[in-house]
Structure formats: C-alpha cells, structure tokens
Amino acid sequence: MSSEALTTTGYIKHHLQNLTFGQHPDGSWGLAHGAAEAREMGFWAIHLDTMFWSVFLGALFLWVFRKAAVKATAETPSGFLNFVEWVIEFVDENVRSTFSHKNDLVAPLALTLFVWVLLMNTMDLVPVDWIPQIAHLLGIEYMKVVPTTDPNATFGMSLGVFVLTLFYSIKVKGIGGFAAELTMQPFQANSPILKILFIPVNFFLEFVSLISKPVSLSLRLFGNLFAGEMIFILIALLFSGGVVFALVGGVVQWAWAVFHILIVLLQAFIFMVLTIVYLEMAHSHH
C-alpha cells in the first residue's frame, strides 16, 4: 500500500480507487498510480479489478450451476442440489407471476442476473483489507473487490437490459407501434390537430420515462452497495485506534454485516424483478 494510505483520508481513497489501465497523456499505456492519473486516462480506461471479479464470479456461477445440472437426477435432491433447485424455483415463480408472455429468454436471464448480482454484492461482506493486502503483496497497488460499487459495472448491466427492452418493444409492436407508444400517450385527443400538438409533449414525457429505466436500475444498485462499502471502510478505521476502538469496531462491523446481508439479497432481487417488469412492459401493447 502506498504512503498515502497511512492517513485516514489516504486509506479511504486507496480503498475506493480501482485498478485502472489506460493511455497516459504522453501516449503510453499502463496502470494508473492514483485517482488523478485514472481521470487523465479518460473514458476508454478499463477497471481491471471490476472486470476480473465480475468475470470470475460469472464463471463461478456457470460452473456451479452446470455442476448441479450434471448431477441432477429424478430422485429427491439433497444438500447442494436442493439449494440450486430452490434458487431456480424462486426465480421461476417470480417470472411466472410477473411476465405474462411467451419468451424463453426471460427466465434464464432473470436467473443469471439474480445470482450474478448476488455474488458480486456478497463480495462486500469480505473484510475490506483482506484481498487488497494480498494484492499488495503480489505487487498490485489497488484492488476493489465489489464490482457493483463501480458504476461502470452497474450501468453496463442496466444498458444490456435496456437494449433488450428496446429490441422486444420494436419486435413485438413494430417500429410504428413503438413510435406510437412514445408519442400518443399519456395525453390523447379525438381532434387531429390536438393529437399533433400532443406529440412533442407525449414524446418528452415518455422519452424521459424510457431513459430513466436504465439510469435508475444502475444507480439504485450502485448507490446501495457503494454506501455499504463506505461504511465497512469507516468501521475498519476503528481498528487502528487502540484496543477499545478495535472492540467497538468488531461489534459494529458484525452488526452492519448482518444487516448488510439483507441489502445484498434485496438489491439482487430488485434488479432481477425490475428487469422482468421492463421486459413485460416491452411485450405489452398499450
């Protein structure tokens, strides 16, 4: 860890800094050594830690569920298989109760998002210093292990959902039907003149509503997990204040971790449910 991490402010900044790879102002490519260099790299910089942990946890999800599928039998499941089946049934019930159309993509997508987001959120329960210290011993200066505390990850997932929403809106309703949905409501009139006058107003309102879906979907997840991670970092500072503060920090950390389990589960569930709802709206004719 750099010397900046010896101060309270430096410690917080260090734990909130991503391992960033990009192009320096002089044209060379490499890792950023601080927030200032990361900002100079601009839009095309890559957060290597976010990419690594999100891909790793996604691969872990695929491996675990494939292993369960291979071991599945007609007999009554137990242990690991019972847990995987319970997760699948839980997601399937939510899809059936929310999505009223025929689309074989929705249930697998909902399952993937729920488990993937849940795994990424769960990394927030790992003590904040463990993995960064291991990374430091390996010569890696920065390491954020919770991908959902990075808005690039949450916006990436929400934009994927948004693209699917647009695709199915046009596929199901046609370009004309989707355009009418954006321009012919909520204000309606029998007079042709009023209909024309209402088009820009309706389009503005519906366009704002449409764009707000990926924005709210991503910011809700990012905001809750970032706040949780920040609290864990602040609690970790108590351990450097002596025995009494360390004892207080241990109790507070345990209490916050127990409460944070609810946030971890709830945010994964909300992300999945809103995805199903948005796809349901994309398939529905107004």
pLDDT value at 1 more than 70: no
Is the overall model pTM greater than 0.75, yes or no? yes
Q: What is the pLDDT of residues 107-161, one digit of tens each?
A: 999 999 999 999 999 999 999 999 999 999 999 999 999 999 999 999 999 999 9
pLDDT value at 4 more than 50: no
Tokens of 96: 């059936």
What's the pLDDT at 225? 96
From the list 54, 169, 202, 224, the catalytic residue is 224
What pairs with residue 23 in β-bridges? 29
Average pLDDT over residues 175-196: 88
Q: What is the pLDDT of residues 203-249, one digit of tens each?
A: 999 999 999 999 999 999 999 999 999 999 999 999 888 889 889 99
From the list 216, 218, 240, 284, the catalytic residue is 216
**Which has the closest alpha carbon to 20: 156, 144, 119, 154?**
144
Cα-trace Rg, the chain: 23
Neighbours of 4 (CB within 10 A): 13
Q: Is 220 a catalytic residue?
A: yes
What's the pLDDT at 185? 84
What's the pLDDT at 3? 41
